[in-house]
Amino acid sequence: DGKQHGQGTLRCADGDVYEGEFRDGAQSGRGTMRHSGGSVFEGEYRAGQPNGRGTKRWPDGDVYDGEWRDGRQNGTGTLRCADGDVYEGEFRDGAQSGRGTMRHSGGSVFEGEYRAGQPNGRGTKRWPDGDVY
């Protein structure tokens, strides 16, 4: 049928390079996408998009390891930021949403609800000096 199937490499006009599995002409299965902008995704693909477990590394040093759906962080995962902050919890449409814990490099910790990447709703913040809010 002329469609890619099995292991292979796809070099895109924009400079992105995908190495991995193909099914019915699309990235499906395990693969690695090296984006021309410097980010790298390694993990599971379905119908040409990251779907399932995977890890993405950005050029600024941020790393996300967790669940993906339709090319975006969706489900549970861990985001390790270059500045030392670490978020563990739920993601929706590429941002922290739902229950999660953010451990800041300065020592404070927020545990609670997030929406669209920001604390939103109930939660507890603890500072290194013992203060709790």
Q: What is the pLDDT of residues 6-34, one digit of tens each?
A: 999 999 999 999 999 999 999 999 999 99
Those residues with Cβ within 8 angstroms of residue 108's Cβ, 6 or more apart along the chain or in another chain: 125, 126, 127, 128
With CA atoms as reference, report the closest residue to 110 among 130, 132, 95.
Answer: 132
Q: In this model, does residue 125 exceed pLDDT 80?
A: yes
Q: What is the pLDDT of residues 47-82, one digit of tens each?
A: 999 999 999 999 999 999 999 999 999 999 999 999
Q: What is the pLDDT of residues 92-105, one digit of tens each?
A: 999 999 999 999 99
**Greatest Cα-to-Cα distance within the chain, rounded to the nearest angstrom:** 66
Those residues with Cβ within 8 angstroms of residue 14's Cβ, 6 or more apart along the chain or in another chain: 36
Q: Do 60 and 81 meet the contact criterion of CB atoms below 8 Å apart?
A: no
Strand-pairing partners, residue 23, are: 26
Q: Rounded mean pLDDT of the chain? A: 97
Please tell me the predicted confidence (pLDDT) of residue 91. 98
Total number of residues shown for the chain: 133
pTM of the model: 0.92
